[in-house]
Chains A and B, each alone.
Chain A
Amino acid sequence: MQRREFVKLAGLSVFAAGLPISSSHAQDRFAKYKGTSLVLSIPSHPHYEAMIRLLPQFTALTGIKVELDKMQMLRMRDKQLLEMSKPQGDYDLISYIATWKTEYVDKNLLRELAPFFKNPQLSDTGYDMADMVPAYVENIGLVGGEKGYLSGPGARLYGVPYGAETSILAYRRDVFSQYDLKVPQTYDELHKLLYVIKDKARIGALTSRGQAGHQCLQAWLLHLNPLGGKVFDYKSGVFSPVFNDDNGVKALRFLQDVVQTGPVGIPSYGQGEMMTAFLEGQAAMYLDATAIFGPVRDKTRSRISDKVGYVVHPKGSRYSSEAGGLGLAIPRNSKNAEAAFLLLQWLTSKEQDKAVCRAGGSPSRVSTIADPAMTRQFPEFAVLREQIKYIDPDWRPMIPVWDAIVDQALGVGISNALIGASSPAAALNGEIPKVLEIMRSAGYKA
């Protein structure tokens, strides 16, 4: 036998011998935790409704039972903080909104995930973290870096995207076709369309969030970023508010026009009302999170299932789409941290990322979005493949006091502008002192 043949045969033999070992390794990974019960904190959200349908498979595979504590999304934080601050809490795994990550890590409430991924007894060799959409991982999972919430020196992984979102423009193909309208690629085109649709089609042009607080802030940020604005300018450890500059005012003025030309009642709309207005045919366009994909397809919820097209979030001075949504993390006081990691790893694996999309959820992996079979089933993935290039991980400042800034300052000022109680410039200028006070009270240089 020649040397080359011998090496080839030896390699094949080792590979073949390893096959039963690798599949048995998967079973060995779970065997120790069979019979364990995990408690998972999740929001009421389309992606997690889809996840619920997959959990029986996990239990059948591993013998690990999963109990769910489902709450309204914005209410999860109170309960999670309470549970995670106990010596031993009720939650083994939590779903969290991206903006909460710095507060949770600051308070030492989460476990770092790198040790789990490095543990050969637990990690799945086929997991492939690099396949996750990089901007999602940075925005949702990493804490550290120069600003404290992005990649960079000292950044560590505390969460994995699951229910991550970016923004996209959905539009009614039938309305655009009927009135011979061009699908907007830029903010100028989009702005002109608002009044055209309102006048011609006699339905709302663009649906939007608008309720005071987090909702109207989210709506404003969607336009602030592509129009070239930012909330803070960061230099050498100092956060300087710049949200009241020309770009900030322009974004708020645009949002006022959306309210004027949109479905009636936008200043009271949360995410649910915004989606419902589009799904019920009350608006010709939707520009917000990709969580709309599943509900549009769901004929029990949508009157417009076969009439929706998608394009990337229009360009202002730049392309810049939302980075946000939900991720999974393991509380420091979890009673079953290793089993929880197995669930986290399974849910976010390549196979389950595709499965959750088929059940009505959102993709977190590039391979899912690029998969030809998935794209045939979900044509919107072709647009999403383009959109993920423009996700801005620094879409909003995810500092621990961000919620306080939204609740006490920006969320009130912007809401006042939307109902005409103040001009955009006055509304934003008026919030500068409060924002500076909040930042300085929290110890930031501002």
Chain B
Amino acid sequence: MRTPSWVPLVYVGPAAAVMAAACLYPLISGIQLGFFDWSMGTPWADAHWVGLRHFRTAFADPAVWSSLRVTLLFAFVCVTAEMSLGIALALLLEAPARAMAFFRSMFILPMMIAPIAVGLTWRYLFDAQFGFVNAILQHVGMAPHAWLADPSLSFIAIVVSDIWQWTPFVLIMMLAALASVDGSVLEASRIDGATWWQMTWRVKLPMVAHVIAITLLMRVIDAFRVLEVIYILTFGGPGDATEILSLHIYKAAFVSQNLGSAAAISVLLLAVVALLSCVALRFSNPLKQEKM
């Protein structure tokens, strides 16, 4: 018996309604806010229409471009390091040995910690006077540094904290993907005399390429959304050396009380992330694997 075409809609409908309420409505409200001048604590009826003024101002604001540059650099460095480390760790830990199960559990822990706690922990670790990082450096005969007081070093600090927290995400995605690789293909390549490196590079990784693409996409999107850790670690300083776009938006909204401007910059951020996602999907196309 053929299923009527409206049946799938019935099943998908409730979930779609929830998605519309939880995602679409705030998105549309946010975009709408970008066209108004409104301050928190005043009635919405007092908001007044300013058209494209906030968008024009955002395009012309050097602080926005500076934040975007910092964000792009942060995302590039973090995602590259996390993907490389995550894949390497997954290849190392995929063996079914008992000890490996313990190490897998330990490596995943950072991902489970709330970002605020991560920020606080690393703030203390990088403290110039009392921090563990400087204690280690002094122990090995190196000079301590004012990690959070130097523009270059503070950037390194936020990158290190992000890599520490999110490499485990790449790790578990890759472990799951590697576990699903057909063992008979690997056996066949082993019989054919392939080395470990050849098996990894020519067999395993191509077979999990679609998972790598999805993981890469998710990490890129998340890297653009980071806020809590940088808020705690540096608050965008020193100067504006670590002020990424999400923090800039936060400050515009909740410190300067300029919600319309913050909404306009959010829309620009959304456009940048959407563009990068499309580029990533275009080149990797995870669905191509499924169709084949």
Contacts and interface: CB of A to CB of B under 8 A. Distances in A.
A267 B240 CA distance: 12
Nearest to A78: B254
Interface string B253-280: 0111110000000000000000000000
B189 interface: no
Smallest CB-CB A-B distances: 3 pairs? A212-B237, A265-B128, A268-B148
Given A85-B40, A403-B257, A404-B256, A265 B236 contact: no
A407 to B, nearest CB: 4
Interface stretch (B149-157, B159-167, B198-206): B149-157
B221 to A, nearest CB: 25
A155 interface: no
Interface of A: 77-78, 81-82, 84-85, 103-104, 107, 109, 210-213, 263-268, 273, 277, 280, 282, 401, 403-404, 406-408, 412, 415-416, 418-419, 421
B129 interface: yes
Given A263-B129, A266-B149, A268-B154, A107 B237 contact: no
Chain B, interface size category, equals 20 to 34
B257 A267 contact: no
B238 interface: yes
Interface in B231-247: 234-241
A421 B151 CA distance: 9
Given A407-B251, A407-B256, A408-B256, A419 B40 contact: no
A55 to B, nearest CB: 27
8 contacts: A81-B40, A211-B237, A213-B235, A213-B255, A264-B149, A265-B128, A268-B146, A419-B238
A230 B222 CA distance: 43
A403 B255 contact: yes
A415 B237 contact: yes
Contacts, number: 107
A403 B146 contact: no
A379 to B, nearest CB: 29
A84 B234 CA distance: 30
B144 interface: yes
B149 A213 contact: no
B39 interface: yes
Contacts of A82: 40-41
Contacts of B52: none
Given A264-B149, A267-B237, A404-B256, 14 more contacts: A78-B40, A107-B39, A107-B41, A210-B149, A265-B129, A265-B149, A277-B129, A282-B129, A403-B256, A408-B63, A408-B256, A412-B63, A416-B239, A418-B238
A404 B240 contact: no
Nearest to A277: B129
Contacts of B195: none
A79 to B, nearest CB: 10
B129 A212 contact: no
Interface residues of chain B: helix, strand, loop or mixed (majority)? loop
B128 A268 contact: yes
Contact of B239 (A212, A266, A407): A212
A277 B39 CA distance: 38
Given A212-B240, A403-B255, A412-B240, A107 B235 contact: no
Nearest to A80: B41
A268 B127 CA distance: 9
B151 A407 contact: no
Interface residues of chain A: helix, strand, loop or mixed (majority)? helix
Contacts of A273: 127
B42 interface: yes
Contacts of A107: 39, 41-42
Contacts of B40: 78, 81-82, 85
Contact of B146 (A103, A267, A401, A406): A267
A45 to B, nearest CB: 18
A81 B40 CA distance: 6
Nearest to B237: A212
B106 to A, nearest CB: 30
B148 A415 contact: no
Nearest to B62: A434
Given A264-B128, A407-B256, A84 B237 contact: no
A429 to B, nearest CB: 16
Nearest to B256: A404
Given A81-B40, A82-B40, A419-B150, A268 B258 contact: no
Contacts of A419: 149-151, 238-239, 241
Contacts of B234: 211-212, 268
B161 to A, nearest CB: 14
Nearest to B131: A265
A271 to B, nearest CB: 13
Contacts of A266: 149
Contacts of B256: 401, 403-404, 407-408
A261 to B, nearest CB: 14
B128 to A, nearest CB: 3
Given A212-B235, A212-B238, A403-B255, A265 B41 contact: no
B148 to A, nearest CB: 4
Contacts of A267: 146, 148-150, 237-238
B70 to A, nearest CB: 13
Contact of A264 (B41, B129, B154): B129
Contacts of B235: 211-213
Contacts of A406: 255
- Residue of B39, B255, B256 contacting most chain A CB atoms (<10 Å): B255
Interface string B126-149: 011110000000000000101111
A325 B239 CA distance: 25
Nearest to A414: B239
B257 A412 contact: no
B41 A268 contact: no
Contacts of A421: 151, 239
Contacts of B258: 404
Interface in B69-115: none
A109 B254 CA distance: 17
Contacts of A84: 41
Given A282-B129, A403-B256, A419-B151, A213 B237 contact: yes
A324 to B, nearest CB: 17
- Residue of A268, A273, A406, A421 contacting most chain B CB atoms (<10 Å): A268
A189 B128 CA distance: 28
